[in-house]
Amino acid sequence: MSKIKVGHASNPENHIKINDSSVSRVHLEVSKIDNDTLRIVDLGSLNGTKIDDIEILESTLKRNQTIKIGHQIYPGDEFFNRVNKFFLDKRVLWVEEFAALEAEFKKYEKKKAKVNQSLQNKMNIVRGVLAIGIALIFFMFGERMGIPTDLRFITSIGGGILAGGIVPYLISKDNASDQYVALKREYSKILVCPRCRKDLSGGTYKFWKDEKKCNSCDAIWVS
Ligand SMILES: [Zn+2]
């Protein structure tokens, strides 16, 4: 299907039916330019069509924009999901395209490990500095703190170990999750079913390969 029609729910000819009186019977037409770009043509609707709050007659829509149809507002991503099923390629075999994802999955794993490693390194440095600092404080001020001489060495070591041990709790997990979220966001757009673009970033390549096909669009990944 090359063009789909969007309009009021009362018109059976519409592919996407919106039950809202601000939406015209025949409101707009959508065609696909590529996976991230749609062409929107307003078909003379009464209340108009806006993209990012700008009235349009004919324009492109990207996933990160919003579209307003009559009084109904849709985030671009949501609108893409609604129209995408009408644009699905009729082809069923996606073996080559799926196999090409293996390299991207590997890159993703590598980048995730790197984020992990950099956090681990940071933690070890802070842990070392803190442990030595606390040990030194006990050692130097032990007398003033009223710690008997023969216990001073052992309390220094104990204090240092304790201080080093609590570091993982001091370095907030947010520190790492910011980087994880950015990484996940990037790859949830790359690691997708080649046909319906369902997000596959939550599983490994092997996991999806064993599934053999997409449970959203029935594309065959492994024949
Ligand atoms: Zn799919």
Q: How far is the CA of 34 from the centre of ligand 1 (A)?
A: 17
Q: How far is the CA of 60 from the centre of ligand 1 (A)?
A: 24
Q: How far is the CA of 206 from the centre of ligand 1 (A)?
A: 16
pLDDT reported for residue 171: 66
**Token digits of residue 80:** 């893409």
Name the burial class of residue 90, with classes exposed (0-12), middle (13-18) and buried (19+) by CB atoms within 10 angstroms of its CB. Answer: exposed
- How far apart CA 63 and CA 185 sit, in angstroms, is 14
Q: In what order do the strands lie in the sheet with 66-69?
A: 54-56, 49-51, 66-69, 72-75
Q: How far is the CA of 121 from the centre of ligand 1 (A)?
A: 39
Q: How far is the CA of 214 from the centre of ligand 1 (A)?
A: 5
Return the amino acid letter for 201.
Answer: S
Q: How far is the CA of 217 from the centre of ligand 1 (A)?
A: 4
Q: How far is the CA of 86 from the centre of ligand 1 (A)?
A: 13
Q: How far is the CA of 116 from the centre of ligand 1 (A)?
A: 30
Is-contact 66 78, C-beta < 8 A? no
- The DSSP H or E segment spanning 16 is strand 16-18
Length of the chain: 223
pLDDT reported for residue 176: 65
Q: Assign 3-class secondary structure to 131-143.
A: HHHHHHHHHHHCC
- Residue-level pLDDT, tens digit, the chain, 223 residues: 579 999 999 998 898 999 999 999 999 999 999 888 999 999 999 999 999 999 999 999 999 999 999 999 999 999 998 888 788 777 899 999 999 999 999 999 999 999 888 888 888 888 888 888 888 888 888 888 887 877 878 888 888 888 777 776 766 556 667 888 899 989 998 999 998 888 999 999 999 999 999 998 889 999 9
The domains found in the chain, sorted by start residue, are 3-87 (2.60.200.20), 95-211 (no CATH)
Name the burial class of residue 183, with classes exposed (0-12), middle (13-18) and buried (19+) by CB atoms within 10 angstroms of its CB. Answer: middle
Q: How far is the CA of 92 from the centre of ligand 1 (A)?
A: 10
- How far apart CA 134 and CA 155 sit, in angstroms, is 10
**Token digits of residue 11:** 């018109």
Beta strands in 48-139 (DSSP E): 49-51, 54-56, 58-62, 66-69, 72-75
Q: How far is the CA of 167 from the centre of ligand 1 (A)?
A: 44
**Token digits of residue 84:** 């995408």
Secondary structure (3-state) at 14 = coil
